[in-house]
Amino acid sequence: MRRLASFLMLFSFAAFALEPPADEPLRGYSAEHSAVEVQWEQKFRAIPDRERIREDMQRMSARPHHVGSPYDKDNAEWLMAQLKSYGLDAKIEQFEALFPTPRSRKLELLGPAPFTAKLEEPTVAVDPTSGQKSEQLPTYNAYSRDGDVTAPLVYVNYGAPSDYEQLAAMGVSVKGAIVIARYGETWRGIKPKLAAQHGAVGCIIYSDPKDDGYANGDPYPDGPMRPPEGVQRGSVMDMPVYPGDPQTPGVGAKPGVKLIPLDQVQTITKIPVLPISYADAQPFLLALGGQTVPDNWRGGLPITYKTGPSKAMAHLAVAFNWDRKPLYDVVATISGSSFPDQWVIRGNHHDAWVNGAEDPLSGTSLELEEARAWGELLKQGWKPQRTIIYCFWDGEEPALLGSTEWAEYHADELRQHAVAYFNSDGNTRGLFRASGSHSLENFVNSVAKDIQDPETKMSIWKRARLASMLHATPEMRAETRTRADSRIGALGSGSDYTVFIDHLGVPSVDLAFGGEDEGSGQYHSIYDDFYFYTHFQDTTFVYERALAQTAGTMVMRMADADVIPYQFTDEADTVQNYVTEVKKLADTMRTEIKNRDADITEGVYAAAADPKKVSVPPAVEAIPKYFNFAPLDQASDDLTAAAAEYERAFAAHDASGETAVNDELLKTQRALTDPAGLPNRPWFENMVYAPGFYTGYGVKTLPAVREAIEQKQWAIVDAEIARTAAAIEREVEVLNAATKILSGN
């Protein structure tokens, strides 16, 4: 499902000319144990095989395998059989969830130049699976409500909050209209959500050729870009409120669980939604009247983009089968020899929108190859100290269903036992990218230094760090030359880590390579298949192997360590940056409001207006008061001090003997959760990381504070500062307890 994610959560690896000496023992290991571990890791990395990954991808992508389809179940059973054949203890854990599929779809333009949208992706002759019509899910957006509306059209660009401000300034309202938005910028579910909030009655989302079509390269099958009739399917559920089964928030949906009635579900869209291709979109866009759009609203079609409204009416009618479908999560467990109650979890989903070679099978196949390696190494005598759990999730595409229901079902155990969750999803060629919890930043760096980049033969750590220099600001360059660890991004949403980090406070990392074959246009279409992947993506599967090596090394190193190798000075440094950011955000917004108010009063808008064009000046706004950031400043300083103390105690003597500290360490990230959750969305409990309420995938750090400011909910800012600070102070307390154990006090 992830996509926007891979851009926003870019691993901002900064460069350093020389890699530091690698002969220190691994963190959390004694020198002796470290030497043994390094050998096991090397053995592991020799195992993943490109041809096997290729074959696994081909097998699993042979037919469409969305939730509830025969081949989805078939893949799950095949995965379980494979895992068992490797000698692992594998099972299918079955859940169920609401998963609507189309009963009827109609979109037409009425008026003088009538047109009926095809809503159909044609078979491509050279592509053998593109013609599996009987099993393909039609093009649609899951969790759109049923609806039948006839209304004029308005173009809303990406349908982001700023786009509605622009429309208001141009005097255009979407009230009573069907909006037509292009894919991109915001997560797709935000588009109908905001459209409905502004009074629209329907929403069409199309793929503009500027964003992933011919503007970026040759269209499929000549090149990797979206062809004229290619359509992006996808969920439009209001996942920033809660992901997972809409009828069982917070509860693992085993068959028979109590359900919220459909008409009370909060996360289904308020208006009907339908995705279309740019071939289908062009006649609708041509029907728009009104003003010519601003530069940055223009797409790549050979037309004059206008805001609308259209004179001609559009008719949008969609109806769905509102069925509950089974979910088959495949789970394999390797019990820990020393700390069986400390769990290292690894996951990637196996369901797809259609054949899904890139999304998700490029990730699923390499995860399976890691599992095969564990089978081999167990036979050779390797014994992980911690329990390792390998998960192959079902139902990620509709709404992170399989991972969410599983983790909600096992919530109490996970809160007690989960050490870390390592996620992957679709994978391509290029630079190493990691995003996640910053207590794992140092750990991610340590592993990345040991993985070879297939193209340059330098480490993936060094390559990413060097490449980040190319367009770095002077500030970034300076930091790069002084900070030992490269920074990792923060996690928003868009893949299965969401329930772990955001709901349960389990330290999580999302891993991928990317940047070289990205932005391609088969995302969520019938053409994301084996032919596509093997012609236009990681065609030699070298980055598939590299990601297996990377993720697997992380799992092994985390599972084998004596002391969990969390590190907190990187985290404290990052939190301090976030605090600086939200303080600056408040100041910037206050200054902007002040200036705009002054401009309105002085007549700036009247002076700048062209009387031939409609323009509506903004209204004068109350200037927000100053906020009390003291608790956050204090908490950030306290975390910095506690992290440094822990680091000193950790370095002072061989920590590897002090395994009692692990119990405290397990609590450090859980401390960041607040059971009351974020304002208006209690399911999201993490006070440091969350997907944005109006970005969907894009992360908001210190979300309660940041979004209160962004959304101008001035009245709650001080309280959310205090609540966020309290969460950080809880981590400080746990961390101080850990330090005490290490220091023997």
Q: Which residues bind a second copy (CB under 8 A)?
A: 15, 17, 209-210, 214-219, 223, 225, 292, 298, 300-305, 429-430, 455-456, 458, 462-467, 469-470, 474, 477, 515-517, 591, 595, 599, 602-612
Cβ closer to a second copy: 197 or 595?
A: 595
The smaller minimum CB distance to a second copy, of residues 290 and 336, is found at 290
Query: Is the Cβ of residue 286 or residue 716 nearer to a second copy in the bound state?
Result: 286
Q: How far is the CB of 386 from a second copy (least distance, A)?
A: 34
For residues 509 and 75, give the distance between their C-alpha atoms in angstroms, rounded to a whole number. Answer: 26
Least spacing, CB of residue 594 vs a second copy, in Å: 11
Side-chain-facing half-sphere of 68: CA atoms under 13 Å: 17
213: closest CA among 280, 274, 156?
A: 280
Q: Which amino acid is at 84?
A: K
Report d(CA 35, CA 588) in Å as an integer. 52
Q: Which residues pair with 667 in a beta bridge?
A: none
Task: Provide CB contacts within 8 A for 125, sequence distance 6+.
Answer: none
Closer by beta carbon to a second copy, 165 or else 413:
165
Measure the CA–CA gap between 329 and 538, rounded to whole angstroms.
27
Distance of closest approach, residue 427 Cβ to a second copy, in angstroms: 16
Of residues 300 and 682, the one with the C-beta less far from a second copy = 300
Indicate the residue type of 521. Answer: G
**Minimal distance, residue 423 CB to a second copy, in Å:** 25
Burial class of residue 584, CB neighbours in 10 A (0-12, 13-18, 19+): exposed
Angle at 472 between CA 470 and CA 475, to 5 degrees: 150
Q: How far is the CB of 446 from a second copy (least distance, A)?
A: 20
Handedness of CA 252, 254, 259, 262 (dihedral sign): positive
Cα-Cα-Cα-Cα dihedral sign, residues 332, 338, 341, 344: negative
The Cα–Cα gap between 208 and 230 comes to 10
Q: What is the Cα–Cα distance from 732 to 718, expressed in whole angstroms?
A: 21
Look at residue 7 and give its three-state secondary structure: helix
What is the closest distance, in whole angstroms, from the C-beta atom of residue 273 to a second copy in the complex? 26
Q: How far apart are CA 247 and CA 258, in angstroms?
A: 8
What's the closest the beta carbon of residue 626 comes to a second copy, in angstroms?
19
3-state helix, strand, coil in the chain (%, to 5): 40, 15, 40
Least separation in angstroms between residue 607's CB and a second copy is 4
Residue placing its CB nearer to a second copy in the complex, 411 or 467: 467
Apex 264 CA angle, 259 and 269, nearest 5? 115
Nearer to a second copy, 185 or 685 (CB): 185
Kindly state the smallest distance separating residue 543's Cβ from a second copy, in Å: 12
Pick between residue 611 and residue 675 the one whose CB is nearest to a second copy: 611
CB nearer to a second copy: give 335 or 456. 456
Nearer to a second copy (CB atom), residue 484 or residue 652: 484
Which residue's CB is nearer to a second copy, number 19 or number 413? 19
Nearer to a second copy by Cβ, of 19 and 32: the residue is: 19
Transcribe 385-454 into DSSP letters.
Answer: SEEEEEEEES-HHHHSHHHHHHHHHTHHHHHHHEEEEEEE----SEEEEEEE-GGGHHHHHHHHTTSB-T
Q: Which is nearer to a second copy, 303 or 630 (CB)?
A: 303
Nearest distance in Å: CB 301, a second copy: 6
Residue 426, both tokens: 């679709």
Interior/surface letters 678-687, b for 16+ CB within 10 angstroms, e for the rest: bbebebbbbb
Q: Do residues 500 and 417 lie in contact, with contact meaning Cβ atoms separated by under 8 Å?
A: no
Handedness of CA 713, 719, 722, 728 (dihedral sign): negative
Instruction: Compute the least distance from the CB of residue 279 to a second copy, in Å.
Output: 11
DSSP one-letter code for 360: I
Give CA–CA dist 684/302, Å, rounded: 43
Closest approach of a second copy to the CB of residue 444, in Å? 18
Q: How far is the CB of 617 from a second copy (least distance, A)?
A: 10
